[in-house]
Amino acid sequence: MPSKIPLLIRTRPSLIRLLKSLGINSTRFHSTSSVDQTEISHFANLASTWWDSHGSSRLLHLMNPIRLSFIQRCLLKGSPIPASSSARTSPEKLDPTAQVQDADSPQKLRFLDIGCGGGILAEALARLPSTESVVAIDPSKEVLSVALEHARQDPMLTVGEKLRYINATIEQLPKELEGRQSQFDVVTLMEVIEHVPRPSSFLTVTMQHVKPGGWLVLSTIARTWTSYFTTKLVAEDILGIVPRGTHDWNKYINADELREFFEGKEGWEEVVVMGCVYVPGLGWREVRGGEKVGNYFFGVRRGLGEGSDDK
């Protein structure tokens, strides 16, 4: 059976055709950026309605509780900060970290939210009492300006650097941090990886920002005929609940492809996967085995051992 890894190192077919028409060998084509300008322009056009809970980002607003719940599930499997032996929590609680840590511990978690958009998840993470800080980055100036404006409405978010927005790609982040600590307890990629042209190189760079013992948590969509029907035909073309052109089915990634990718990386251990589906009138709900059909969450933990340091 052919390896599934090449999908993660894909070059978009349209780009390949263009390079061939110009007489350029696409296998030699290289870019240091994970940004697709077409994608950036698409989301920049939606910036003004990002915080309208009934607008173009409605499904993202509805997804936030289950995002936090999945982060909690990952941290319960293994916290970057040693947990109290008596710590207990329930899946219904939306603070994904508060009860994982010893109540007397002064240590709190640092988050990196990549492709933060207008800040729906970043703000929620910053408000958690167990959060030390959130660094949220996005390559779109238009979208990030909306995030900054919205954050100013909450004084708690503007005190110190509880929430810091940076207009940058993941490749530019070390320079933007200006020598500050560049590894985080939790790195999130929510609805991001299906929008980047070279997911393999993108993930490789992203992994470097996860501290030993920390988690890389993402959400994306499986590449199946069912997902084409629901996310493209129904959501975009028929119902219009997602702006047309938001998704490219060819860029979807299956959970087993991600699992195989991380199995090939030394020092990456536990994997947590959770399928989910949007139910009109009820919001997003977990569905066992849903990762084989459509939307899903994927979390992978970086080991504490010597081999966990990716160079």
Q: Which residues are annotated as a binding site for S-adenosyl-L-methionine?
A: 67, 115, 138, 190
Give me the amino acid identity at 136: A
Cβ contacts of 267 within 8 Å, gap of 6 or more? 212, 302, 303, 305, 307, 308, 309, 310
115: left (phi over 0), alpha (psi -120 to 50) or beta: left
Rounded CA-CA distance 277/296 in Å is 8
Question: Helix %, strand %, coil % for the chain, to 5?
Answer: 40, 20, 40
Rounded CA-CA distance 296/287 in Å is 9
Q: What are phi and psi of 290, to 5 degrees?
A: -65, -20
Which one, of 268, 249, 250, 248, lies nearest residue 258 by Cα? Answer: 268
Give me the amino acid identity at 278: Y
Rounded CA-CA distance 158/119 in Å is 13
Q: What is the 3-state secondary structure (H, E, C) of 161-183?
A: CCEEEEECCHHHHHHHHCCCCCC
Which one, of 62, 17, 51, 41, lies nearest residue 195 by Cα? Answer: 41
